[in-house]
Amino acid sequence: MRARKRPPRELPFPAAPHLRMAQLGETATFDGVSAFPPARRSELKAFAPQVLVASADALVTAAHAVFSDDLALESVDTAVFALTQVGGTPVAPPERDLIWRAFQVPLYELYVDSEWKLLAAECEAHDGWHLRSLDVEFHLEGGELFLRQPALAAAIRTGLTASCVDGLCECGDAAPLVRPIAAHCRSLAASAL
């Protein structure tokens, strides 16, 4: 058996190893998750996933397919995770609403790096993102969120705004919380340059 090179990549709560978890996309980027690329979409119903993982775009497409009866996923009963990569835009409220209406389970956004490593995960109380990586620090500059990885000298602009980075959250999770998250406004970006 070949040694496994990739470190463990677990989805946060409420995902769990005993649940059937499907990712809409070419590859599964988390442990215990099965990938369903578009060509295998017809197999999803038989798999009966309880957890769905996908980019916001793929979730919106799936939601429309649910509404048009092209996709039946009543099996999804635990959570939907929306993946947003650094540099991407968080799921907008109308999209969140659409995804909620299609699947009727809590939606949690996961903020991942370019290699799909989890950096932050939406709070169970939906009040921001808790940091989930020990290798990354977030800080604010003029309301804009930057992240820094020790291996890299320069901070990375996320293109997101936040008002605070702290460790206090009503949900009881002690991991630092970033909130609220929003796409960086164009005029703000222009004035900050």
> In this complex, which beta carbon is closest to Zn ion, that of residue 38 or of residue 167?
167
Give DSSP secondary structure letters for 19-33.
S-EEEESSS--STTE
Whether the Cβ atoms of residue 165 and residue 128 lie closer than 8 Å to each other: no
Residue 11 or 102: which CB sits closer to Zn ion?
A: 11
Distance in Å, CB of 136 to Zn ion, minimum? 18
| E-assigned strand segments in the chain | 21-24, 33-36, 51-55, 79-85, 107-112, 118-122, 129-131, 137-141, 144-148, 156-161, 164-166, 177-179, 182-183
**Least distance from C-beta 172 to Zn ion, angstroms?**
7
- Our CB check for Zn ion shows the closer of 58 and 82 to be 82
Residue 142 to residue 88: CA distance in whole angstroms: 20
Q: For strand 21-24 and strand 33-36, is the pairing parallel, antiparallel, or unpaired?
A: parallel
Nearer to Zn ion, 45 or 126 (CB): 126
Nearer to Zn ion, 71 or 178 (CB): 178
| Interface with Zn ion (CB under 5 A), residue from 15, 51, 82, 123 | 123
- The stretch among 71-79, 86-94, 121-129, 136-144 that binds Zn ion (CB under 5 A) is 121-129
Closest distance to Zn ion from the beta carbon of 31 (Å)? 23
Per this entry, what is the length of the chain?
Answer: 193
Choose which of 171, 182, 183, 189 interacts with Zn ion (CB under 5 A): 171
Report the residue number, 153 or 168, with the smaller CB distance to Zn ion: 168
Binding residues for Zn ion restricted to 72-111, rule: CB under 5 A: none
Q: How far is the CB of 26 from Zn ion (least distance, A)?
A: 32
Nearest 5°: phi and psi at 122? -60, 135
By the rule CB under 5 A, 144 interacts with Zn ion: no
- At residue 131, φ and ψ (nearest 5 deg) are -70, 135
Q: Is residue 169 close enough to count as binding Zn ion by CB under 5 A?
A: yes
Closest CA to 130 of 96, 181, 87, 182: 181
Residues that bind Zn ion (CB under 5 A): 123, 169, 171, 173
